[in-house]
Structure 1
Amino acid sequence: MEQLSAVAGKCAAASVWVLSDDDLVDYLDTIDRAMQTLTAAQLHLIREIDGRGLPVARHCSSTAVWLRERQRTSVHAAKRMVDLARSLGERPALDSALAAGAVNAEQATVIATTIRDLPAGLGPDLVGEAEAVLIDQAEQFEPAILRKAGERILSHVAPEIADARDAAALRRQEARAWQTRAFQLTRLGDGRVRVTGWLDEAGAATVDAALDPLCAPRHDNDEPRTPGQRRADALVEVCGLATRTGELPDNGGQPPHVVVTVPFDVLRRRLGAGTLDTGGRLSHTEVRRLACDAQIIPAVLGGDGQILDVGRARRLVTGSLRRALELRDRGCAFPGCDRPPRWCDGHHIRSWADGGSTSLDNSVLLCGHHHRLIHAGQWTVRLGDDGLPEFTAPAHVDPRRRSRRNLYHQRT
C-alpha cells in the first residue's frame, strides 16, 4: 500500500507538458485501466468489510452509511459501491473484467443490473452468455448506450423467451391503456373548452387516420393556422362529417344535433348572444353563421322566454317536442340532479296510457334514476304557473310537502 501510494504520488507530481501527443493519450489510458483495477480492489475490500459486519459492529446502520462517513462521499454513491461490490462477488467474470480494466465501474454497474433483471429460470449458461456479450460490448459503448444494449440482450441469447416476454408485456400494456382510456371536455368559462384524455394505440391510430387528411396546411403560402390549430379544426370537422352521415345512433330518441337558443333580438337586431344546449354562449355573429348549417337547429325565444319556434315544428316526442323539453328543463328537472339533457328521457306527467297528451305542457325531462323514482309513485311532478316543473316529495321525506325545483340548471 505504501508503494502504491508512492507511485500514485509520483504520477500526480510529474510534469505532463513535456509529453508528446501520443504519450499523453497513452498515459491517460494506462492510468484509466489502473484506476479500474484499483476500483476492483476497493470493491473487494468493501465486500469483505460488509460480509464481516464491521459497520454494524461500529454502530453504523449500514455499510453504505459507514462508507459515506469514512470516505466523505454521498450516500447514493456509497450505496452504488456496496451494491456493485456484492454483485461482483456473484459474477466472477465481471469482477475479472473490472480488475483487468476491460470495463469501468459505471459499465460494471449497468451489466450487473442487467444480469440481475433477467427472467428467473433462464439457466446459468444463458446468463453467462449474456454477461460475456455485454462485457465485450463495453469496449465500444459508454454506460447509457450499454444500458440500451442490455435491454435487448435477451433477444440475443434467448430470442424465443424474449418474444414471449415482449408479447406478455405488450398485452399488459394494451390492457392498461384500454382500462385507463378517457376523454374530457372541460369548459374554462372564458370561451375555451379544454380537451384532455388518453387513448390506446389502436384508438389513437384510428383518430390519426381520420384527422391527418384534414390537418394539411393550405396549398397557398397564406396559412395562418398553427399545426395545433389545424388539428383542432380537423377534430371538429370530423365530428361534423359524422353528424351529417345520418349513421350515428339516436341520442335521446333523435339524431345527434346541436341546438342554439336564439333570443328574437339576436336575429332581428343582431344584439345579445345565443346559448348552446351544452350551456356555452355564442356571439350573434357566430349564431347567424351556425344557423346556415343544416345540422344546427335554431330555437327562437320571444321576449318573455316563450319558445316561438324549434326547428321543424312536428309534435313528436322524438322531434321538436324533445328539443323544446331540452330548452325548457336544461337537463333532468328533478331537484338537485345535474344530469345533462342527452342523458334524460321525456316523461309524460299524466301517463299517455291514461289519456295524457304528448305535448310540452304534459312532459318533463328526467334521467333514468329519477324517471324510475317518479314511476314508483311516491314523488309527484306538475308544471307551475310559469310552466316549469315542480316536484313534491313523499311525507316521510318532507312532512310539509313543499314544492321543489331544480336550481342546478340556471336559466338565462
Structure 2
Amino acid sequence: MAVQEHLIESQDRAAMIDPFVQLAFLNDAIDDLTAANLDLLDAEWFARYARSVDELTARLDAISIEARHRGHDRHCGFFSTKAWIKHHVQLTGSDAHGRIQTMRMFDLLPTWAAAARSGEVGVAQTRLMARVAANPRVHVGLLKCVESLLVDAIVLPYDEFERRIRDFQRSADQTGAETQARLNHAARDAMMRQKADGSWILWATFGSLQGAQVNEVLAHFIQAEWETDWAEARNRCGDDATLSDLQRSEPQRRADAAAAVFLAAASAPGDRRAPLPTLNIVIDDTTAEVIVSGGRLDAARYNKMICHTQNGDPIDCSEAAAIALWGHIRRVVRDASGVVIDMGRRSRLFTGAARQAVLLLSDRCLWPGCDRPNRNCEADHSLGWKAHGNTVPWNGGTMCRAHNRLKETGNFSARRQANGSWTIHDNDGEPIG
C-alpha cells in the first residue's frame, strides 16, 4: 500500500510540472551561460566547466530522444515514428534512424537510459551502444554484460570503449561477424578515375585483414615522407624548425606516399615471392584457442578479448587465427602478464625484439589525449634508466616523439598501474588529465 501511495504521489508531482515553463527556465540559464566570462576561470575550473557542460549535453540529448510522438499520426500519413520525427524535428533520415535506435535501446536497457538521463554516459557512447543493440542477435549477451559495458562507457576513453564494445559484438554474434568478414573480403574493389580537370581519384575497399596489411605498408611510406620533410626543414632552418617549415602538408605527404607505394611495387623483382611478415596480429591465447578449435566465444569476457593489429586496427578473429596458422602473418599470443621477452639491463635502449615487445603492449601514445599510433612512437622506460629501470617490456611504454621529449624536459613521469594502464604525473606527483 505504501509503495502504491508513493507512486501516486510521484505521478501527481509529475503532473504539476509544466514542461514549457521548465524549457523557458532552461533557455534563460543557457543565455546566462553564454554571457558568462570564462576567461576568469583557471585551467582546473575550466576543465570542470567543460565536463559539466558535456554532462548537461548528454542529459538534454536523452530528453530529446524521449521527446517522441506516441502513435505518430498514422491517419495523417506518418506510417512510422521515424517519418514523424524526421518531419516535425527536421532531421535527416540517418539522424532520425539513429534516434529510433536509441529509443529502442533505452527500452531494452533501462539502466543505460537512466545513466544517459543523469549525464553519466556521453552522447557518442550512447549512440554507439544503440547501433550495437540494433542487432537482435546480441540481446542475450547484452542483457548479461550491460552493467560492465556501462562502466566501460563512463570511465574509458571513447576509442578504448569503442574497441571493447566491438569485441563484445564480435563475440556475442560470432556467426554474424564471420559472415560479415567474408562479405567484406568478397566485396573488395579498387579503381582509379580521372576527373574532368585532369586530376585522378584513387578509391579502394578491403576486408579487415587485407585492409590492415595495406594500411601498414602505406603508413610506413607516409612515415618515410614525414622523415624526409623534417630532414629537409632542419637542414634549411636548423634545429628550431617547426611544422610550419615543412614543405608539404599532411594530405600531400599521404598522396606522395601512395604514389611511392605503386612506384616501389613496379620496380620490385618479378619473382612474385611474398615479402617477409611485417604485420603483427595480437590475439589473446584464449581467443586463439577457441577459434582454432572451432568453439564459441564467450561474450562475457569481451573486455579480455584481444584481436587486432599492433596499431589497434580490429581484425576478424576467424581471419586472424587462420592466417596465423598459414604463416603469412606473424601472430603474437599475449598472456595476462603481457611480458613478451626480458633483456635485463644489458641494453639502455629498446631495440629489435625488445622494442617490438614494448610497442605490442599499446597501440597508441600513452599520453592522455594523444592518439598517435605506435608506428609513430618510441619505446621508452617507465622507470628511467638513470633511476636503474630495467630495459624489459614491463618497464617500457610507447610515447610519440613530442611527448617523450616533453616527459624528459618537463620533469613528467610515466607510471604503469597494476592493471596495465598508464598515468602521467607532473613534477609534484599529481596525475595530469
Sort the TM-score into its range (normalised by shorter chain).
0.3 to 0.5
* TM-score (normalizing by structure 1): 0.37
* TM-score (normalizing by structure 2): 0.35
**Structure whose CA Rg is larger:** 1
Identify the structure with bigger relative contact order (alpha carbons < 8 Å, sequence gap 6+).
2
Between Structure 1 and Structure 2, the one with more helix by share is 2
